Structure 1
Amino acid sequence: MYKNKILLILISTILSFSYAQEMFQTVNPKDATLVKSDSSKEFCNVCGMHLTKFYKTNHVTEFKNGHKEQYCSIHCQAKVDEAFKEKIKHVQVVDTNSLELIDAKSAFYVVGSSKKGTMSMVSKYAFLSEKEAKEFQKEFGGEIHNYNEALKIAKDDFKNDDKAINQKRIKVAQKGKKIYESLCKEVSKEFNSIGEAKQYLIDNKVCKNLKPQMQQAVAIYLYNPLLAVDKNKIINVPADAKCPVCGMFVAKYPKWVASINIKEAHTHYFDGVKDMMKFYFNPSKFAHNHSKDEFKDIKVTDYYTLNAISAKEAFYVIGSNIYGPMGEELIPFVSKEKAQKFLNDHFGKKVLKFEEIKESMLY
């Protein structure tokens, strides 16, 4: 217990130091306009980052239903635009000079200046007038674009930016995992964003007395626990691997991966145990003429640790209120105790061993 306290103090100190460094984007809270009124008022609902710390790149989206959200950057704004473009009514951006919210479509963006970007290697700062944008450009470099052009650049940069962001998040997620395991109640829920995870932690009082930086670390871990796992212990899926049962790209669903290794041949990957078992019982139905004698190694992903475990030694919960990529799933656990606890928490119907799974259950 004492060691855990020392560890958490060290984590808190490291996180506090990294957040305390002064940034160009940061403003005094009294100079910031925050439009939300719920528990997510101070952070971005996509990445969870503090809005005042990254205020000069903030964007505000008003949706057609009247709801407003505030994002730390055009990178996060672009994520929302890509997912909900048809639902967006109006977008505002912070004017870098006045710190007022202005119409994004009338703004002049300086893209690629020497000032650091937010959630992107290529910075993007907005100005009310072209004259102000040119003055900033003269001092710090970059190119001037309108909103739609800047938005497209942000989307084109997703692949490289997300890769760099996830690399930076690895250590934070690992710290978040330690904090979560020491100070938080168990959460069995999938999150669509770090911001959503962070708001859930706050609204449900999941953790004890966490500083904002520690809260962010836990939210990053809960959103993408794979960042904190040992890559040698998980099922590593090729990017182009498709599930032979449903045809989906399996790498998109790393928390649910299962695999069957065919003796002296190749490996089939699945986006869940349910599809894997359909294949196991009747491979010919999916255009493969394998016999069960050829199935050399069968692996599933433990729900809590995300480690690869033996399918034949795992315990499976059926009928719970947690769904996988293909809907209702057989959810695997490394121990019967873990499976039973999950069943109790999530209204499961039964815990099964591998040999108790019947083909009729899968349909």
Structure 2
Amino acid sequence: MKKALGLFIFLFGIIFSNLSANENFQTVESKDATLVKADSSKEFCNVCGMNLTKYYKTNHVAEFKNGHKEQYCSLHCLAEIHKNYAEKIKNIQVVDTKSLKLIDALKAYYVVGSSKEGTMSSTSEYAFFTKEDAEKFKKEFGGEVHNFNETLKLSKDKLSKDNEVIDEKRIPLAKKGKKIFESMCDTNQLKEFNSVGEAKQYLIDNNTCKNLDAQMIQAVSVYLYNPLYAVDKSKMINIPEDAKCPVCGMFVSKFPKWVAQIQLPDGHNHYFDGVKDMMKFYFNPTKYHAHTNEQISQINVTDYYSLESIDGKKAYYVIGSNVYGPMGEELIPFKNEEEAKKFMLDHFGKKVVGFDEIKEEMVK
């Protein structure tokens, strides 16, 4: 019986090991990975925050014209940067799947769409130094051989679709990250971030959280990058994609964390990219629309912490803090006075006011 049990454990171990290897084809041992960065983000991708060694076989390195180097876990993350900063990039390297060495991406042969898993993408992209190696990989695992520029274009073309899938996967992680952040981190250091990797580096550099393992830090980073992942969307102000702020003309759906809303009895709504613009409208409604304040049926604003819709006339607002909205200095709303006062102290605010205490000169 013991021998049979031992054999079962041994065979299960082999099967599990093979499954793990298949699930992590991109992973290499630390000694085999070349990491080019020297700062606190050396081991993770500055875009998505994922471990570079774990996804090493799809790593790309961009050297910028100012001499700075960044390493990305995938072509997907490189494409996110390349679409906005292509003119600032001097050269790009990619990991040769066979030798694990960094090679010139422009000279590499990519096998796109093989049966091996992709990194940050539903379609895999593995690079090789020689066409012979690429064809051999293709024969075994499928896919098509492309050069770098062709592969980069394919990646850019599906960025939106891939990001939709990534966003869905990040929702449960961000909800965990929110709980961790609120219980184990300095919440006074909450700020805006352009990427998960940027949030992760900030947490590390500022020692924002205590006793977090790698998975916990990643969860918190995902949450801080986009707190909307952790919010019940049904409790937020629903913004039409084509809604423009009547004061500044910007598309409001781009700023869901700051949106404010004025409702009229006839069902018409006005949307604003912050309380400041909403109040400019409120004080001079006929300047922007042919109705008076007496015709307003409801005012809704977005609570800074929960991001939920709250009654604008019952909210408390912090004026003059060091936290800025899309239009610069803002009147930042909170559902209760206690949270507003704490935020004011943490962020050097000048004053907490109720809705009726807001004066026109405060928003000019």
Q: Is the 8 A contact 2:40 2:201 kept in 1?
A: yes
1:64 aligns with 2:33: no
Superposed displacement of residue 196, structure 1: 0.7
How many residues align? The count is 344
Measure, in 1, the Cα distance between the counterparts of 2:74 and 2:106.
Answer: 15
Secondary structure of 2:249's counterpart equals: coil
CA deviations on 1:300-333 (whole Å, 9 max, x unpaired) are: 1111111111111111111111111111111111
- In the other structure, the counterpart of 1:100 is 101
**Runs of 4+ deviating beyond 2 Å:** 19-22
Measure, in 2, the Cα distance between the counterparts of 1:93 and 1:166.
Answer: 26
1:232 aligns with 2:234: yes
Partner residue of 2:254 out of 239, 252, 255: 252
Taking structure 2 as the reference length, the TM-score comes to: 0.92
Map 1:108-119 to 2 at 5 A.
108-119=109-120
Q: Is the 8 A contact 2:239 2:253 kept in 1?
A: yes
- In the other structure, the counterpart of 1:163 is 164
Superposed displacement of residue 226, structure 1: 0.7
Q: Is the 8 A contact 2:286 2:292 kept in 1?
A: no
1:63 counterpart letter in structure 2: F
Measure, in 1, the Cα distance between the counterparts of 2:344 and 2:315.
Answer: 15
Superposed displacement of residue 21, structure 1: 8.5
> Could you say if the C-alpha distance between residues 20 and 139 of structure 1 is closer, same or farther in structure 2, counting changes exceeding 3 Å?
closer
Measure, in 2, the Cα distance between the counterparts of 1:272 and 1:21.
Answer: 48
Structure 2 residue ranges without an equivalent (≥5)? 1-19
Map 1:1-363 to 2 at 5 A.
22-186=23-187, 187-286=189-288, 288-363=289-364
1:313 counterpart letter in structure 2: K
CA deviations on 1:146-176 (whole Å, 9 max, x unpaired) are: 1112111111111110100010011101111
1:325 counterpart letter in structure 2: P
Measure, in 2, the Cα distance between the counterparts of 1:155 and 1:277.
Answer: 40
Superposed displacement of residue 223, structure 1: 0.6
Superposed displacement of residue 113, structure 1: 1.3
> Could you say if the C-alpha distance between residues 20 and 207 of structure 1 is closer, same or farther in structure 2, counting changes exceeding 3 Å?
farther
Superposed displacement of residue 129, structure 1: 1.3
Measure, in 1, the Cα distance between the counterparts of 2:131 and 2:310.
Answer: 59
Structure 1 residue ranges without an equivalent (≥5)? 1-18
- In the other structure, the counterpart of 2:9 is none
CA deviations on 1:162-191 (whole Å, 9 max, x unpaired) are: 100010011101111111112111032101
CA RMSD after TM alignment: 1.4
Measure, in 2, the Cα distance between the counterparts of 1:213 and 1:52.
Answer: 15
- In the other structure, the counterpart of 1:9 is none
Q: Is the 8 A contact 2:299 2:313 kept in 1?
A: yes
Q: 143-152 or 64-73, which moves further after superposition?
A: 143-152
Superposed displacement of residue 265, structure 1: 2.6
